[in-house]
Amino acid sequence: MLRDIFRKTIFAAALATLGTAGAAQGIDDTPRFRMPVQPSLNLYGSPGLMDVPTAEALPDGQLAVSYSFFGGVSRSAMTFQFSPRISATFRYVGIQNWNSNGFDTYRDRNFDIRFLLRRETLYWPAITVGLQDFAGTGINAAEYVVATRTFDSPLSLPGTLRVTAGLGWGRLGTDGSIGSPLGNVRPSFDPNSKGGTLATDQWFRGPAAPFAGIEWQIDGRWALKAELSTDAYTPETSRGVFTRKSRFNFGAEYQHSPRLRLGAYWMYGAEFGLSVQFQINPAQAVTPLVVAGPRPIQPRPELTTSPDAWSEEWSRSASAPQSIRDALAPALEKEGLSLDQLSVSTNSAELRFINRRYASDAAAIGRAARVMAQQLPASVETFRLVVVENNLALSTIILRRSDLEALEFAPNSADALLAVAGFSEAAPDLPGAIYSADLYPSLAYSIGPYVTPSYFDPDSPIRADAGLSAEFRYRFAPGWLVAGEVQHRLVGNISDSRRFANSRLPKVRTDALRYAQAGDTTLRNLYISKQWKPRADTYARVSAGYLEAMFGGVSAEVLWKPVNSRLALGVEANYVRQRDFEQRLGFADYSAATGHVSAYYEFGGGYHGQLEAGRYLAGDVGGTATVTREFANGWRVGGFFTLTDVSAADFGEGSFDKGILLSIPVSWFIGQPSKRTVSTTIRPIQRDGGARLAVPGRLYEQVRHGHRSGIAADFGRVWE
């Protein structure tokens, strides 16, 4: 998936370049929105020099993906700046010519976390404390406190010099130690440990050593780096992976584009190294979104000069609602919206509509309000707009028509309109409404290529299958959905793996290889579902069928989420049976009753938390905690972990289930309105404990974007 995203990004970046080709480059002192300084990465994928870290934080929300190689050591890393001060890194390392402990090439997964203690000020350097590989088996385990100071035009030289000094423990304390200031005992690295637990007993213990380095960013393109590394590379040099002849490392880096940086290094007086660093930020789209302009709102004539236009006579006609609906529906379709229900009275109208085009519901609401202002008689002053998602009326946004007329060209029009917009619950049904005549039945289908990646097989860290996928979604009545997807594999090597499951639990997820080997043509899912609103703030769903690739059965869910609430609560219950490896219509013997109670909370500023407790697929009981950072354009990066009553020994490698969530909106790449997103979940290792059913159409994701905070966050697009 990552490779997939990377490829797409490169592709889209190429497009963006095409779009701006020929732009005249001149001296320009016009104002611009200041971009935060983007520090370069070290070979571990964190802000740093080569092997040592620096204290700078990445710009808030930045996602950095990097690859580095030297002396047989390769590191692929993904770092996310979760908040202005906290960043987290996930890394996959491979050390060639290990030739011991049963490995030819030693591979491991690491997690790091960094906290910026102090931002750089006039007198103070930036100071960061970091834990590297804090949870794994500890091949790269290190802790550090590091300070970095920036000097512009140092000694009358061009560019910027960054000077870094720090104190390292663990790996970073193995050469040039000054003693053990915080305790002597540090458990040693164990290549065969199961990992996964927090290694609190080793943090900042054992020998510590001072490291230092400089980075000279000569101009916008080139930079030179030098460092004194305190990493003795004991596990590697003792196994003959490479020979360390010096404590000094040197490098040159080239910023190819704002997103791509390349580096070449001379490491430890013995080895050449290289790195590729790729940094993107959700707030900087690859292609800025372009939406064709709307028709402006035509203000109603003055009541005093045109009293006839304001006549309320029309509302006495029994056919008025139908004729208004027939005028609204085609005008809405032109804007990518579908009329669902309409109720009109003399002074107010409620429009329930489906947003088929815009990632931002606020944009859809703005377009719908324009259509209403264009079509409705002058006496209708109150517009009630309800976005409907698969039969779920999400919320009612109340706008006064005179506000729309007055504010369209006013300064700061988006904030001004938000200030006078009302948000309230939407009743399950609209009494006295007339319905759209042609919403049901509806069929949607899609046929195209698919790529399924599989990561972290020690024999071949990236495997993938590719082929054709065909899917359909058929709606025959409000809230009802019949959907299915068939895949046919044309090429791929996932089934070539020889690593069969060794799980002590029911093999609810670790039989993926057997599924991959069983056949080329598979039924991914085929199910029927119905969803509805029992009450204004409550949502419900039932589904049955082949719900996902490995399980089929029945699923039911209820969600409570008031429109203006940060908190949502949900309950989900499922009874499922494992599917045959062939993934046709048959089932295997294993069945499970699984379900959860969930609490969702929006902390504000794009931070979301989710707690779930319940019974998982393998029958284990426990809870899952998820934290995500989200952006109004649909970007989402997060992490989760699950702890259940399965012991670390029974769980196997990794000790407990955990992973990273990543969603990127398609419109961010293509610059055109689209509701699609590309999502992936990366687990360092997939085991059977803490495994959840992947039931399609969970309610919270369908609902919350249409509630107050989701719409308010998007309001910059309401007039677009």
User: Which of residues 150 and 287 has its CB atom nearest to other proteins in the complex?
Assistant: 287
Q: Which residues have a Cβ under 8 Å from the Cβ of 89 and sit 6 or more positions away?
A: 44, 45, 46, 77, 78, 79, 80, 110, 111, 112, 113, 114
Q: Which stretch binds other proteins (CB under 8 A): 156-164, 311-319, 617-625, 667-675?
A: 667-675
Stretch that binds other proteins, among 106-114, 155-163, 228-236, 280-288 (CB under 8 A): 280-288
Residues 572 to 601 in contact with other proteins, rule: CB under 8 A:
none
The least CB distance from residue 163 to other proteins, in Å, is 27
DSSP 660-714: EEEEEEHHHHH-S----EEEEEE-S---STT-----S--HHHHHGGGSHHHHHHT
- Dist. CA 665–CA 386, nearest whole Å: 23
- Binding other proteins (rule: CB under 8 A), the pick from 3, 6, 17, 19 is 19
How far is 178 from 538, CA to CA, in rounded Å?
Answer: 62
Distance of closest approach, residue 365 Cβ to other proteins, in angstroms: 12
> Which range in 117-125, 216-224, 619-627, 674-682 contacts other proteins by CB under 8 A?
674-682
| Residue 305 near other proteins by CB under 8 A | no
Q: Shortest approach of other proteins to residue 131 CB, angstroms?
A: 30
Q: Give CA torsion, residues 43, 49, 51, 57, to 10 deg.
A: -80
Q: Work out which of 22, 102, 220, 431 binds other proteins, going by CB under 8 A.
A: 22
Among 59, 176, 294, 479, binds other proteins (CB under 8 A): 294
Among 96, 105, 284, 565, binds other proteins (CB under 8 A): 284
Q: How far apart are CA 200 and CA 467, in angstroms?
A: 45
676 contacts other proteins (rule: CB under 8 A): yes
In this structure, are residues 427 and 60 in contact, taking their beta carbons and an 8 Å threshold? no
Distance CA 426, CA 292 (A): 30
Q: In terms of CB distance, is 254 or 476 closer to other proteins?
A: 476
Residues 6+ apart with CB under 8 A from 482: 473, 474, 475, 476, 527, 528
Write down the least CB distance from residue 514 to other proteins, Å. Answer: 23
Shortest Cβ 110–other proteins spacing (Å): 28
At its nearest, how many Å lie between other proteins and the CB of residue 235?
Answer: 39
| Nearest alpha-carbon partner for 42 in 227, 207, 167 | 227
Q: Does 419 bind other proteins (CB under 8 A)?
A: no
CB closer to other proteins, 31 vs 431:
31
Q: Binders of other proteins among 51-90, rule CB under 8 A? A: none
Tell which positions 321-340 bind other proteins, by CB under 8 A: 338
State how far the Cα of 492 lies from the Cα of 452, in Å rounded to an integer.
Answer: 9
Residues in the chain: 720
292/318 with CB nearer other proteins? 292
Q: How far is CA 213 from the centre of its chain?
A: 34
Q: Which stretches does DSSP call E strand in 244-309?
A: 248-255, 260-267, 271-280
Rounded Cα gap, residues 380 and 360, in angstroms:
26
Per rule CB under 8 A, is residue 366 in the interface with other proteins?
Answer: no
Of 212, 291, 536, 588, which one interacts with other proteins (CB under 8 A)?
A: 291
Q: 295 or 584, CB closer to other proteins?
A: 295
CB of 525 to other proteins, least distance (A): 11
- Nearer to other proteins by C-beta: 46 or 395? 395
Which of 201, 124, 11, 86 has the alpha carbon at shortest distance from 637? 86
Owner of token pair 């195209």: 448
| Nearest-10 Cα torsion for 554, 578, 663, 458 | 170
Which of 633, 642, 644, 709: binder of other proteins (CB under 8 A)?
633
Contact positions with other proteins (CB under 8 A) in 433-492: 442-451, 466, 468-471, 473, 475, 485, 490
Count interface residues toward other proteins (CB under 8 A): 86
Q: Which is nearer to other proteins, 209 or 285 (CB)?
A: 285
Contacting residue, 48, 282, 377, 595, with other proteins by CB under 8 A: 282
DSSP state of 15: H
User: Least separation, in Å, of the C-beta of 715 and other proteins?
Assistant: 8
Nearer to other proteins, 197 or 680 (CB): 680
- Minimum distance from residue 366 beta carbon to other proteins (Å): 11
Residue 31 — φ and ψ, nearest 5°? -70, 155
Q: Which stretch binds other proteins (CB under 8 A): 126-134, 287-295, 535-543, 570-578?
A: 287-295
Is residue 33 part of the contact set for other proteins (CB under 8 A)? yes
Q: What's the min distance (Å) between Cβ of 551 and other proteins? A: 19
**Secondary structure of 113-174 in HEC code, one letter for each residue:** EEEEEECCCCCCCEEEEEEECCCCCCCCCEEEEEEEEEEECHHHCCCEEEEEEEEEEEHHHC
Q: Binding to other proteins by residue 675, rule CB under 8 A?
A: yes
Subset of residues 368 to 397 that bind other proteins, contact rule: CB under 8 A: none
**Quick check: 272 binds other proteins (CB under 8 A)?**
no
**Choice between 23 and 155, CB closer to other proteins:** 23
- The conformational region for residue 646 under phi > 0 = left, psi -120 to 50 = alpha, else beta, is beta
How far, rounded to the nearest angstrom, does the alpha carbon of residue 355 sit from its chain's CA centroid? 22
The residue type of 114 is R
Q: Which of 93, 414, 547, 637 binds other proteins (CB under 8 A)?
A: 414
Q: How far is CA 303 from CA 72, 312, 419, 604, in A?
A: 81, 12, 26, 44
Q: Is residue 604 part of the contact set for other proteins (CB under 8 A)?
A: no
Residue of 237, 375, 538, 674 interacting with other proteins (CB under 8 A) = 674
Nearer to other proteins, 399 or 407 (CB): 407
Note whether 158 binds other proteins by CB under 8 A.
no
11 lies in the site for other proteins, by CB under 8 A:
yes
Residue whose tokens read 């295997």: 588
Q: Helix/strand/coil (H, E, C) string of 489-502?
A: EEEECHHHCCCCCC
Smallest distance from other proteins to CB 605, Å: 12
Binding track, positions 487-526, relative to other proteins; x by CB under 8 A: ---x------------------------------------
Strands (E), 153-270: 160-170, 208-217, 222-228, 248-255, 260-267
Does 672 bind other proteins (CB under 8 A)? Our answer is yes
Q: What is the spatial distance between Cα 90 and Cα 76, in angstroms, rounded to a whole number?
A: 8
